[in-house]
Structure 1
Amino acid sequence: MTFYNQWKAASSSGAKGVALWRLGTEDPSVWDVVKGHKVSEIQTVKNGEIAYNYGEGSILHAKTEASPGERRFAFDSKGFISGEEYTAMPQAPEIERLSKIFNKEIVLTFDDGPDPKYTEKILKILKAHNVKATFFMIGENAVFHQDIVKQVYEDGHEIGNHTFSHPNTINISKNQLKYEVNATERVIQGITGHSSILYRPPYGDNQSTYNGYDETVYDPASFQKMADTTNMGYITVNYDIDSSDWKAKNSKEIVNRVMKQAENGDIILLHDGGGNREATVEALPQIIEKLQAQGYTFVTAGNLTNKSRESTMPAVLKAENPIIQNIKLILVNIAALHTVFFVLFYGTLIVFTLRLLIVFYLALKHKRKADKLQFDASYQPLVSVVVAAYNEENVINRTIKSVLKSSYQNLEIIMVDDGSTDGTSKTVTEAFKNNDKFGLLRKKNGGKAAAVNLGIQKAQGDIIVSIDADTIISSEAISLMVRHFNDEKVGAVSGNIKVGNVRNLLTTWQHIEYVSGFNLEKRAFSMLNCVTVVPGAIGAWRKKLVQELGYFTADTLAEDTDMSLRILRSGYKISIEEKASAYTEAPEKRKDFLKQRHRWNFGTLQCLWKHKRAFGGRKHKALGFMALPNMLLFQFIFPLFAPFLDLLFVLRLCTGDVKHSVLLYGCYFIVDFLVCLVAFRLERISSKPLIALVIQRIVYRYLLLWVAWKAVLAALKGTKVGWNKLKRSGNLQVTRDSSTERTG
């Protein structure tokens, strides 16, 4: 009231400024006057940022919370305040310090546990020295190390609440704080059968260390968090001897810091978790022995407030026993699931790593071997190129033209129209009727296997090259594949399929998959003679062998995989020719992609079942112990569990294990990128598409997961799966020797 009148008088008389004595003790409302705020705002009596302290020590709780006062003013005719009436008195925040300090009593406290490596070592040291301590545990760690929590309690130590995931509580909401504290409380109750009234905020509370004065400038947000936990029934146990063991280089530093501060404090902060605590373990016996030598007695935080452990950790009420039993059951299940996830995650990681190393080594070995291979240029057998087509009028002509441009001249082309309902036959007849190398066969629709078989039966050549109707082959492709058949042991040769319509994100992802798969996996398996798929898009076959094996069969939707496996089981070799490029049209729409991959996956499952006796077979060990298990594991089993691994990753992020989780997944993506980069370098093509790799590994993986699940369920239910013919867009772009030719 007096300042308002003085300010008004000074302002009206032309005063240039005023001075306050002394800053920090003034009524906060004076600043509302200076700023020219409305009188209604001045009527609220504000509190400053001063928290008043009562008692001693660093164990405290909020006694009263801050609340503003209210007053009414009366004004005279000149606008000066002539009267003032308080309708509500302001209440300052008050902190009650609860320690009952006796001479030479000191407390050992440990934060961030329990840890399976360090907490148990610390417990042994404490037991050997007959010292009790207080452990402030993180709920997440307690869930996964329940046996250690039990041991801490059974050894007579106190357990305090250190939140569930160790967040900086100043930055979280009141509701999240309640979750963090209550979740940890339930975990402690479920494991020990006792509650705890002891709480320590993560990262401590450097504003709450008692400095000997009755008033301390205290951040309102920090006080409010203390008030929140006080209202939840907790007392805050801070510390006044900071060992800084989390950053110490050795045990000597820790011991020296503690001993220097011991005279001015009574609660020592150490850590039994959250990092490497070897130095803490080494320092602990020295700290205990040195302090005992100076006459100190070790007590618990509860003892420092003149409370027994039964008071700081009361038994759970009988009325809550059903809840506690349910919590115990949940904790047991969580621990079991954690073990399963742990084994699953790291088991998968080990398998993936071993597979990667083996595949990487064999792929590079194959690359060196392939560069040194020499072939007989005089070997020029007649080759029959068989093209099975069904409703391919948009793309068939470009496919036939690419074959006719082949550098290999001793060939014939047999196109089998498998009952097309569009103008496929008319289109090729008009385009190639005068070409002696081209022949057209027409039949009723019966599926690709039957169409290819008809072409083989009518073929004159000893070598069959089968290509899909949407594929464009490089001019050297046939020459490069055929030369391998000079070796009588070679039964088939796989070409190198490339995506020719890299137009959007989906086709880019498929492009990455094709390049990585061929240049690593196929190269590796070629070294072991267990290439399981000679693709229908571009593959060469020894005609006599195909006939001996009974041609392609229609009992699976992956006739090319089935024939490849039959050839291997017959004792023949399957080679790959990296330079025999074929450009295929990959699905550009998600729906078409899922249809195609569902057919491929279902067909592969059919082949695995059909050739189940080859698993672990002694006749062809590489096939039985490497290739077929690889197909089963990495195409079906591991993808089925991918969501659980991702769920584990998300759960660990949500529970605060961000650094460890991000590090693991970050390393996975880096290694994955490097592997793909090597594959692209082996192919000698631009690695620009790898920009989309991270998104591919997240989104694309779940598309593949979906079709894997769908295929497995369809197989288990006995659902009939059709061919699901895809509509061709004709958007194919072929790259040769740095030049680009667009078709369609």
Structure 2
Amino acid sequence: MARAAHRKRRSTRLPLRYLLPALFLVAIMLMLLLRGYVHSEFLADHRVNPPTSNSKVPADVLEGGPVVDTRNGKTASYHVPERTMVLTFDDGPDPVWTPKVLDVLHQHDARGVFFITGTMASRYPALVRRMVDEGHEIGLHTFNHPDLSLQSTSRIDWELAQNQLALVGATGVRTSLFRPPYSSHAHALDNDTWPVTRHLGERGYITVFNDTDTKDWSRPGAQEIIRRAMPEKSGDGAIVLMHDSGGDRSQTVEALEIMLPRLKAEGYRFVNVTEALDAPSAHTPVGGFELWKGKAFVGAVSVSGKAMGVLTVLLAVVGSLVLLRFALMLVLSWLHARRVRRPDFRWGDEPVTRPVSVLVPAYNEAKCIVNTVRSLDASDHPIEIIVIDDGSTDGTADIVESLRMPNVRVVRQANAGKPAALNNGIRHARYDIVVMMDGDTVFEPCTVRELVQPFADPEVGAVAGNAKVGNRDKLIGAWQHIEYVMGFNLDRRLYDVLRCMPTIPGAVGAFRREALHRVGGMSEDTLAEDTDITMAMHRDGWRVVYAENARAWTEAPESVQQLWSQRYRWSYGTMQAIWKHRRAFLERGPSGRFGRVGLPLVSLFMVVAPLLAPLIDIFLLYGVIFGPTGKTVAAWLGVLAVQAICAAYAFRLDRERMTHLLSLPLQQLLYRQLMYVVLLQSWITALTGGRLRWQKLRRTGAVESAPVTGQPTRERSAAR
């Protein structure tokens, strides 16, 4: 009982190979959300409250100075002394203009106050540290820059806390200075803004308004900015409102360069608020958990910003790869179809009519093997059929023998895997052309004939057939049908023209026996023995071609788990094959040509591009939520339209019904994500040195027979 309970707990535990891809996806989404958060792409409120009556504002505040202190339940306001200028800069820091402002202030030994927003401080913490290091004072200006008179007290507290968090993370200090967004003079306080000022005092903040507003955001010119900065009476002190962010601040910098030396010569001093009021510093050092929390927040923002930059570059890469692949597919597929469909096209002087051997490796294929063998028996080309039973436990071999077909032989072996079964079949084959197929696949009567015709060309060592999904009546099957027609068969036309076919499908392929012997037969080094043997053929100098009319109908996985298992093996096996044949990149002759043409294309289009393709959907989601929704959706629909054009062309070449393409948008949104996670899992397995074992897919026998050649394809079901 205890062992059973332990096994049950282990079976319900999420395997690490599934957990890591899921965590990776979650991490990407969290980084994108954080980026949207610190760029004010959500939670931002750009409403501005119009002025109202000031009947509830104390008269001494309306007539007092620009510094208002409502702490400890008391109300006081302060002016700055004569010939004292407090230069304040709102909305920063900005990576372009804040350094220029700081340079001018440093050059003239002047200090000021920077009212920073949390969104900018978290993105450019080094600039905030420089402000503090150079003796400037920091004030809060909220996190997202909303009009606080329109916000609840909980939102106000949240804005203050997040703003302080960014400041603490950047500098290790807190501040007691605050300036509300959209504020101006103290006498502009009204019945909506005064409660906010009192609430700020209850939270320990001093509110800093201004005496003069340069309105430098309107870019009136440097001289006009200087004129607006000066107090009404000569010699008076003033708190001056300027900006170091929010747009082009070149006129602000120019005005400072002129104003600072001129006013200093007239006896003015440029100090921060607490210096002007002879008060304790507004900065309080922070330590402990609060400091580490701030550093963690700023660090996470930095990571998300860099990750977004990387993702943007990767999006450009994947976009270029997708468009390049589509362009190559359309052009080269057209050239391929034009070549092989010419009336005078021939593979050699005479058609291939000699008998061939058909190998059917089978492991527990009791539900499918009768359909497979009978479809072969109906072939219009002379063949021998060899069924290699790889230690089946469901009576597969007995079922074949019970058919009593004269041209069918059964070879039994202990379970050793598909490559071993195929090599055993090669040893028993009588003829010099060997056709290989899966035990769940059915051929059309003309499939073998069409498949072997390219061997009339003595340079051809192997031929890839046209694998079709037979059980496409369900959604997953329909999506795989689109993938097979567009992603596999259109690709094979492309690779055929470029003479770098990467994979002969296990469901339908043919080999020259001499070529198989020269490369050592089917290898067990990788889980994708079909890709491995194809690459070996190229490296040995053989030509590998595609026979589009050699159709085979195979049973695709009908559940997500089965599909996952199959594609995980495929993608991991492809990576193994690429790594195994990596030396071809440096070799000469046919091997070098394949290494410098085929391997890069396979790596880009079968490994890199599919891994990055979900970025298109991630940015779609991000753009719909945070960005320009219309442009984002239009861009995604544009990519989908290109895919639809390629898919429609592929369906036309394969003479398939277009109705299945109605599920293409849904396939792109859902199916592609599943394939991405599978590929990511394969990457993790490869990088961590993990090993993947053969995984037998559960078959249902849904594909009973092939459609009649030349007729529209029909989905067939086992239930009749």
1:395-433 superposed Cα distances (whole Å, 9 cap, x missing partner): 223334444566x534444333333332434544555x4
Q: Which residue of 2 aligns with 1:230?
A: 201
Q: Kindly tell me the number of residue pairs found equivalent between the two proteins.
A: 636
CA distance in 2, matches of 1:107, 1:358: 55
Which of 588, 608, 613 in structure 1 is aligned with 2:558?
588
1:116-142 superposed Cα distances (whole Å, 9 cap, x missing partner): 234334444666787755433333543
Tell me the CA shift for residue 157 of structure 1.
3.9
Q: Which residue of 2 aligns with 1:420?
A: 392
Give the alignment of 1:145-156 within 5 angstroms.
145-156=124-135
Q: Which residue of 2 aligns with 1:109?
A: 89
Q: Does 1:690 align with 2:664?
A: yes
Q: Does 1:398 align with 2:360?
A: no
CA distance in 1, matches of 2:671, 2:201: 49
Tell me the CA shift for residue 604 of structure 1.
3.8
Which of 595, 599, 602 in structure 2 is aligned with 1:624?
595
CA contact (8 A) 1:601 1:711 kept: no
Q: Does 1:561 align with 2:541?
A: no
CA distance in 1, matches of 2:497, 2:121: 50
CA contact (8 A) 2:222 2:254 kept: no
CA distance in 2, matches of 1:331, 1:594: 37
Q: Which residue of 2 aligns with 1:84?
A: none
Tell me the CA shift for residue 606 of structure 1.
4.2
Q: Which residue of 1 aligns with 2:15?
A: none
Give the alignment of 1:534-683 within 5 angstroms.
534-578=504-548, 580-619=550-589, 620-621=591-592, 623-625=594-596, 627-628=598-599, 659=626, 673-674=640-641, 676-683=643-650
Tell me the CA shift for residue 326 of structure 1.
4.9
- TM-score by structure 2 length? 0.71
Q: RMSD in angstroms over aligned alpha carbons?
A: 5.0
Amino acid at match of 2:94: D
Which of 300, 314, 322 in structure 1 is aligned with 2:283?
314
Amino acid at match of 1:701: Y
Tell me the CA shift for residue 390 of structure 1.
1.8
Amino acid at match of 1:233: G
Which of 157, 160, 167 in structure 2 is aligned with 1:188?
167
Amino acid at match of 2:366: E
CA distance in 1, matches of 2:487, 2:462: 19
Tell me the CA shift for residue 728 of structure 1.
0.7
CA distance in 2, matches of 1:445, 1:402: 25
Q: Which residue of 1 aligns with 2:714?
A: 740
CA distance in 2, matches of 1:176, 1:497: 60
Tell me the CA shift for residue 674 of structure 1.
4.6
Q: Which residue of 2 aligns with 1:22?
A: none
Q: Does 1:370 align with 2:322?
A: no
Amino acid at match of 1:379: P
Change (3 A) 1:661 1:338: farther
Q: Does 1:216 align with 2:190?
A: yes
CA distance in 1, matches of 2:699, 2:438: 12
Give the alignment of 1:264-275 within 5 angstroms.
268=241, 270=243, 272-273=245-246
Q: Which residue of 2 aligns with 1:280?
A: 249
CA distance in 1, matches of 2:201, 2:694: 68
Amino acid at match of 2:89: T
CA distance in 1, matches of 2:268, 2:607: 59
1:517-572 superposed Cα distances (whole Å, 9 cap, x missing partner): 32665555444433332221222222220122222133433221221121122122
CA distance in 1, matches of 2:151, 2:470: 51
Tell me, which stretches of 5 or more residues in structure 1 are unaligned? Answer: 1-47, 66-93
Q: Which residue of 1 aligns with 2:57?
A: 52
Tell me the CA shift for residue 370 of structure 1.
0.3
1:155-213 superposed Cα distances (whole Å, 9 cap, x missing partner): 55433223456677678876675555344434434544543223345xx256x86556x
Q: Does 1:359 align with 2:325?
A: yes
Change (3 A) 1:450 1:323: closer
Tell me, which stretches of 5 or more residues in structure 2 are unaligned? Answer: 1-52, 233-237, 652-657
1:423-461 superposed Cα distances (whole Å, 9 cap, x missing partner): 434544555x45x65554444433222322233333344
CA contact (8 A) 2:466 2:549 kept: yes
User: Which SS does the other structure have where 2:715 is aligned?
Assistant: strand
User: Which SS does the other structure have where 1:109 is aligned?
Assistant: strand
Q: Which residue of 1 aligns with 2:29?
A: none
Amino acid at match of 1:566: A
Q: Does 1:518 align with 2:488?
A: yes
User: Which SS does the other structure have where 2:464 is aligned?
Assistant: strand
Change (3 A) 1:159 1:430: same
- TM-score by structure 1 length? 0.69
CA contact (8 A) 1:198 1:234 kept: yes
Q: Which has the higher contact order (CA 8 A, sep 6+)?
A: 2
Deviates more, 1:548-557 or 1:260-269: 260-269
Change (3 A) 1:678 1:482: farther
Amino acid at match of 2:362: A
Which of 95, 99, 118 in structure 2 is aligned with 1:120?
99
Amino acid at match of 2:439: A
Amino acid at match of 2:715: E
CA distance in 1, matches of 2:459, 2:70: 86
Tell me the CA shift for residue 294 of structure 1.
12
CA contact (8 A) 1:108 1:300 kept: no
1:687-714 superposed Cα distances (whole Å, 9 cap, x missing partner): 322222223344553344345434654x
Change (3 A) 1:297 1:508: farther
CA distance in 1, matches of 2:149, 2:453: 73
CA distance in 2, matches of 1:563, 1:302: 75
CA distance in 2, matches of 1:516, 1:168: 54
CA contact (8 A) 1:416 1:443 kept: yes
Tell me the CA shift for residue 340 of structure 1.
6.1
CA distance in 2, matches of 1:738, 1:98: 88
User: Which SS does the other structure have where 1:540 is aligned?
Assistant: strand
CA distance in 2, matches of 1:689, 1:108: 58
CA distance in 2, matches of 1:299, 1:518: 75
CA distance in 2, matches of 1:258, 1:475: 91
Q: Which residue of 1 aligns with 2:699?
A: 728
Give the alignment of 1:397-476 within 5 angstroms.
397-403=370-376, 409-429=381-401, 433=404, 438-473=408-443
User: Which SS does the other structure have where 2:95 is aligned?
Assistant: coil
Higher-Rg structure is: 1
1:559-604 superposed Cα distances (whole Å, 9 cap, x missing partner): 2122112112212232334554444322222333333334334534
1:52-85 superposed Cα distances (whole Å, 9 cap, x missing partner): 24244665465699xxxxxxxxxxxxxxxxxxxx
Which of 673, 676, 680 in structure 2 is aligned with 1:701?
676
CA distance in 2, matches of 1:141, 1:519: 51
1:583-633 superposed Cα distances (whole Å, 9 cap, x missing partner): 432222233333333433453454345434335445534543565466668
Change (3 A) 1:205 1:343: closer
Q: Which residue of 2 aligns with 1:16?
A: none
CA contact (8 A) 1:259 1:287 kept: no
Amino acid at match of 2:333: K
